[in-house]
Amino acid sequence: MTFSAWNSAVEAVYMAASAPSRWPSTLYQIAQLLDADGGILLYRHDSGTMSVIVSPNLIEMAKDYAANWQHLDVRAERGFQAFSVGHRDVVTDRQYFSDEEISTLPIYQEFLIPYGFLWSLSASVSPTSSVSVMLTLLRAKHKSAYTEEDENQMLAISRHVERSLSLSVRLMDAEAERLGLSEALDRVSCGVFILDAERRVLLANRTADQLLGEGLAVLGGQFTVTDRVARRTFQQRLDAILSNNNASSIEPLALESLVVPNGDRGLILQILPIQSSIEAPVLVSARAVVLAVDQEPGRSFDPALVRDVFKLTLGEARLAALVGAGTPPCEAAAKLGIADATARTVLKRVFDKMGVSRQSEMAVLMGKLFMLRHP
């Protein structure tokens, strides 16, 4: 992998943020980066509905999969389960399938291998609190298996994919391709502020307009955070993005979510770089997008933020987000599709990492993280 190829792939990822139709070609570019031969985005909503995006060379294979193999694919279900209990956010199928299973299961022998593939490498990402995504790269059967270095590179690129999808998934759910960007943004449930290099708001959706006033403001024509302490951190992260023309060179911390005060609860802000887009002329001078999620009562905690703050895996963070919000562990296990005993094992690991010993203590930490104030 060359530095130039890495930069090009990361830029393509952020180009797809506001133009979801770019994801198929972006997936192929990511695949080429890791000497793979095709890419797949499989995303699942909390409602149970699943959708898939594939690189252009996998379109016919995807049609066959949807018609004949989706209900037989133990790989996808076992993959999501592996991420729910795993110690890492990147896995290969050899880590949750035995050689005997690979040599006998129809999904391998009658589907993947006839299409010329054998090796797969998957990463789990969480673009929103209600959507789970598995990014998978397929490698031809005549090539060697994925290495630990490949896994590390996959983890790095998957974090950029996660941030870009935080906007893309919302636009796809809002039917942006049919409605156009502005109208689609107004159907997005979180606040979306599109900024230029001077922090001026080029475009904001209705939800964003409603969030201005207490935690967020436009002062002197520039978008900012009202809390003095939080404003300093926000401006440092925004400056790191606005001052860097190369998305792959931005410090990872600048791309992590930030919680800022907003009355009796926090606002979760995520800043991502945006590249000029022919599909949306308003974005020609855009440099950054700020997504603002109101942590209102009943809204799920953001697993990606929990992961980053407490240094958990995403699977651990998903369980922690549910249990920390008051969901009994047995209900959280059922929602994640794992056994009660497995959930207890993962929860013990989470308690150790967070430095707590019971659910009530975890709830206190979550309340502080999301700035929840109870009467």
The CATH number of whichever domain residue 210 belongs to comes to 3.30.450.20
Q: Six-digit token pair at 264?
A: 């009796």
Residues 161, 59, single domain; the answer is yes
Residue 281: pLDDT above 80?
no
The answer on 325 and 237 residing in a single domain is no
- Do 251 and 227 lie in a common domain? yes
Residue 345 pLDDT more than 60?
Answer: yes
Report the CATH number that the domain containing residue 320 is assigned in CATH: 1.10.10.10
CA angle 236–301–275, rounded 5-degree value: 45
Domain range holding 250? 188-294
How far apart, in whole angstroms, are the C-alpha atoms of residue 367 and residue 336? 22
Q: Alpha helix (H) ranges present in 105-261?
A: 106, 148-173, 176-179, 181-185, 206-211, 228-242
Question: Same domain, yes or no, for 70 and 160?
Answer: yes
pLDDT digits (tens, 9 = 90+) for 37-62: 999 998 888 777 888 999 999 999 99
Domain end among 248, 263, 294: 294
**The CATH number of the domain where 21 resides is what?**
3.30.450.80
Measured CA angle at 239 (ends 233, 245), to 5 deg: 145
Query: Same domain, yes or no, for 260 and 289?
Result: yes
> Between 298 and 93, where is the model more confident?
93
Same domain, 38 and 105: yes
Question: Do residue 312 and residue 260 come from a single domain?
Answer: no
Residue 177 pLDDT level (bands cut at 50, 70, 90): low
CB 276 within 8 A of CB 282: no
- Summarize the confidence of residues 350-374 as an average pLDDT: 87
Provide the b/e sequence for 197-230 (b: ≥16 CB within 10 Å).
eebebebbbebbeebbeebbeeeeeebbbbbeeb
Tell which wins on pLDDT, 80 or 37.
Answer: 37
219: in domain: yes
Q: Are residues 166 and 28 in the same domain?
A: yes
With 60 as the cut, is the pLDDT of residue 20 above it?
Answer: yes
Which helix (H) or strand (E) segment is 310 a member of? helix 303-310
Range in 171-180, 186-195, 258-267 with the lowest mean pLDDT: 171-180
Determine the Cα–Cα distance for residues 357 and 250; give it in Å rounded to an integer: 36
pLDDT of 375 reads: 43
Q: How confident is the model at residue 82 (pLDDT cuts 50, 70, 90)?
A: confident
Question: Residue 45 has what pLDDT?
Answer: 84
Secondary structure, 3-state, 244-301: CCCHHHCCHHHHCCEEEEECCEEEEEEEEECCCCCCCHHHCCEEEEEEEEECCCCCCC
**Average of pLDDT values for 266-295?**
82
Describe the strand order of the beta sheet including 265-273 as a list of residue ranges: 201-204, 191-196, 286-294, 265-273, 258-262
What is the count of structural domains for the chain? 3
Q: Same domain for 319 and 195?
A: no
CA–CA distance, 351 with 339 (Å, rounded to integer): 18
In terms of pLDDT, which residue wins out, 298 or 151? 151
Mean pLDDT of 191-207: 94
Q: Is the per-residue pLDDT at 332 higher than 70?
A: yes
Are 23 and 135 part of one and the same domain? Answer: yes
Rounded to two decimals, the pTM is: 0.88
What is the model's pLDDT at position 300? 75
Using the 3D structure, point to which of 173, 201, 236 is the last residue of a domain: 173
CA atoms within 13 A on the CB side of 54: 15
The mean pLDDT value for 106-117 works out to: 95
User: In the Cβ-directed half-sphere of 314, how many Cα atoms lie within 13 Å?
Assistant: 24
- Inside any domain, residue 179: no
349, pLDDT greater than 80: yes
Do 253 and 311 fall into the same domain? no
Rounded to whole angstroms, how far apart are CA atoms 254 and 237?
A: 4
